[in-house]
């Protein structure tokens, strides 16, 4: 049996992308009538007595009301926003850290606008100083990333190119 933990894009009743679930969960939703298959680009799942299409995209039968999604502040999302690049020297290294542009001891917040990706060497050199005090300049102004469907579900697009038309414009 093929892998049932692969990601499946879940669309709301109005075709707005709302979530990612596993192939197993998507099959359960389709078989119970709570969702319908929109795209099968992955072949089949075979049980003892039946053959089912393996979903890539499903659409819920009822509209789900959800607040507009926001990108959660996390170390992984900071790295992703900054393209896994040190924001001081511009190098892509394996030893990346998170740096507070204005250190917390000087009143800096733990927010999108104050956190950047830094290599260990630059973070050590900067220490507990501001970037101006250390004479280090940022490559890009740190801002909160867009909460578009392209960004939120973008990390899945490399392996699921068929999702792209359903993510555009949301």
Nearest-angstrom CA–CA distance, 45 and 58:
15
> Tell me: the pLDDT tens digits for 112-126?
999 999 999 999 999
Nearest-angstrom CA–CA distance, 133 and 140:
18
Nearest-angstrom CA–CA distance, 67 and 37:
25
Q: Tell me, what's the pLDDT at 70?
A: 80
Which residue stretches of the chain have pLDDT < 70? Answer: 1-2, 170
Domain of 119, CATH number, reads 1.10.30.50
Q: Tell me, what's the pLDDT at 100?
A: 94
> Do 61 and 89 belong together in one domain?
no
> Do 11 and 51 belong together in one domain?
yes
Q: Tell me, what's the pLDDT at 124?
A: 93
Q: Tell me, what's the pLDDT at 2?
A: 56
> Do 49 and 79 belong together in one domain?
no
Instruction: Count how many domains the chain has.
Output: 2
With 0-12 CB in 10 A as exposed, 13-18 as middle and 19+ as buried, what is 47?
exposed
> Do 14 and 58 belong together in one domain?
yes
> Tell me: the pLDDT tens digits for 56-66?
899 999 998 88
> Do 15 and 38 belong together in one domain?
yes
In a domain, 2, yes or no: no
> Do 103 and 54 belong together in one domain?
no
Residue 119, SS3 per DSSP: strand
Q: Tell me, what's the pLDDT at 79?
A: 93
Per-residue exposure over 73-95, b if at least 16 CB sit within 10 Å of its own CB, e if not: eeeebbebbbeebbbbeeeebee
- Residue 161 phi/psi, 5-degree rounding, is -60, -25
Q: Tell me, what's the pLDDT at 163?
A: 81
Q: Tell me, what's the pLDDT at 58?
A: 92
- Residue 11 phi/psi, 5-degree rounding, is -105, 145
Q: Tell me, what's the pLDDT at 151?
A: 80
Q: What is the domain range of residue 104? A: 75-126
């Amino acid at each position: 049996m093929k892998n049932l933990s692969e990601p499946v894009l879940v669309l709301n009743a109005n075709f707005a992308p709302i979530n990612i679930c596993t192939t197993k969960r998507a099959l359960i939703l389709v078989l119970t009538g709570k969702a319908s298959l929109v795209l099968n680009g992955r072949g089949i799942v075979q049980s003892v007595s039946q053959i089912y299409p393996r979903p890539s995209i499903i659409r819920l039968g009822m509209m789900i009301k959800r607040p507009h999604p926001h990108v959660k502040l996390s170390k992984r999302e900071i790295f992703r926003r900054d393209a896994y690049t040190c924001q001081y020297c511009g190098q892509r290294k394996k030893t990346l850290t998170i740096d507070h542009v204005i250190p917390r001891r000087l009143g800096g917040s733990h927010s999108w606008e104050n956190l950047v990706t830094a290599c260990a060497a630059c973070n050590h050199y900067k220490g507990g100083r501001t970037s101006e005090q250390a004479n280090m300049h940022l490559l890009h102004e740190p801002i909160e990333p867009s909460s578009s469907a392209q960004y939120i579900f973008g990390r899945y697009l490399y392996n699921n190119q068929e999702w792209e038309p359903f993510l555009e414009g949301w």
